[in-house]
Amino acid sequence: MTTAEISGPDWSTRETPRTPEEWIARAGEVAAILASDAVERDRAAATPYAEVRLLKDSGLVTLLGPAEHGGGGQNWPTAYRVVREVAKADGSIGQLLGYHYLWNWAARLVGTREQWEHVEAEAARNRWFFGGAVNPRDDDVVIRDEGDTLVFNGRKSFSTGSKVSDVTVLEGVLEGTDKHVFAIVPSGDPGLTFHDDWDNIGQRLTESGSVTISDVRVPWRDAAGYVDKEFQPRVYNTLNVPTIQLVFVNFYLGIARGALETAIAYTRSRTRPWLHGGHERAVDEPYIIDIYGDLSAALWSAEALADQVAEEGLWFHEHPDEVTERLRGEHEVRVAAAKVQATEVALEVAGRIFEATGARSTTSREGLDRFWRNVRTHTLHDPVAYKRREIGVYLLQDKLPEPTWYS
């Protein structure tokens, strides 16, 4: 099928979810739709217009938006769970949704109150889907100051979701300075050229290709967090890493859960028992049972840590002005642990399910390798060894991780 064919209920006739449980259930419905042809869509790797449409129509994109403007009024822990749920069916779309939440929230992260209130209201009212072209590690986009206007020029290697989005968070460096500026621009700006060069082994539908930025103009008043051309720093600004990393954690866990559930269904219906056991069904083989018991226990554990750390993080979002460097640092250490566990368990589950599904399950038609390819691809974002290091340094030297713009 092509993505244009994604169908589902008539969402417009459905009531908007109100509780976290209802939102997670809604995400489950979306996941079920995505799951039905996930293998084919992964293979086609087409631009996910229909998928993004589904995220909008089902209301998931406005989950975090202010209720008074039609948003769901939910908090981050629920958003993480929703991302996890969607990623069960389709890792790429889980990532796109998670990144959308992050780009949308970027306004609140670095912007002034006036700015973010405006952005959140507009986003909720218009069901904007957000993309981004941000990589503060490099000075690859330069900004010219033309008085009232900023002019962006350059190139970003990755622009996840931007091509299929309504608005894009753009980042660059003010010419002759080391000041980074974030601003939201319409994704249809003629100065943005997407190169469709994302061709990786996994997360194939995330539209993470490069983008060229030519004379994209932004009024100074939209430069997030700047007042009179000066950035107004807050400790809250440095919550980017923990929040972004928790999004990663949750789509890794979703992919892992998807792998496990898909494999269980396969084993129940298709796996043949091995000749030695004298078992009529594969599901009676003690070692197949053991593999699933082992993987589930590990996955539940990583999920519990992700949930617990998400709850710990909620306080920061509810008390943005009380965030201290110490509290933030200790939270980042906990997030690092969740990242370590999620990475390990997701790779393990996605790699080991085959031991319980058997030789025939490796046929390309089944596409059971997509879980591994997806989690393998995104877990390269930043080396997990450095997350263990963050934890160890904190415990042994009582040193907090340095806030960085890179996640």
Residue 37 near residue 4 (C-beta atoms within 8 A):
no
Pairing of strands 141-145, 149-156: antiparallel
State which residue, 317 or 373, has the beta carbon closest to other proteins.
373
Applying CB under 8 A, among 319, 392, 402, 404 the residue interacting with its own copies is 392
Helical axes 76-89 vs 20-35, angle rounded to 10°:
20
326 touches its own copies (CB under 8 A)? no
Applying CB under 8 A, among 2, 221, 300, 315 the residue interacting with its own copies is 300
Residue 242 binding: pick among its own copies, other proteins, none (C-beta 5-8 Å cut-off by kind): none
354 touches other proteins (CB under 8 A)? yes
State which residue, 120 or 390, has the beta carbon closest to its own copies.
390
**What is the enclosing helix (H) or strand (E) of 193?**
strand 192-194
- DSSP assignments along 94-113, one per residue: HHHHHHHHHHHHHHHHHS-H
41 touches other proteins (CB under 8 A)? no
Determine the 3-state secondary structure of 27 from DSSP: helix
What is the residue whose two structure tokens read 């070692």?
Answer: 287
336 touches its own copies (CB under 8 A)? yes
Of residues 368-387, those binding its own copies (CB under 8 A): 385, 387
> Which amino acid is it at 407?
S
288 touches other proteins (CB under 8 A)? yes
**What is the enclosing helix (H) or strand (E) of 172?**
strand 167-174
Residue 256 near residue 346 (C-beta atoms within 8 A):
yes
Q: How far is the CB of 355 from its own copies (least distance, A)?
A: 13
Where does residue 156 fall: left (phi above 0), alpha (psi -120 to 50 degrees), or beta otherwise?
A: beta
> Which amino acid is it at 218?
V
Residue 381 binding: pick among other proteins, its own copies, none (C-beta 5-8 Å cut-off by kind): other proteins
273 touches other proteins (CB under 8 A)? yes
78 touches other proteins (CB under 8 A)? no
Rg (CA), the chain: 22
Which residues form the interface with other proteins (CB under 8 A)? 137, 199-202, 272-277, 285-288, 290-291, 347, 351, 354-355, 358-359, 361-365, 368-369, 372-373, 376-377, 379-386, 389, 406
Which residues form the interface with its own copies (CB under 8 A)? 264, 267-268, 283-284, 286, 288-294, 296-298, 300-302, 304-305, 307-309, 334, 336-338, 340-341, 385, 387-393, 395-397
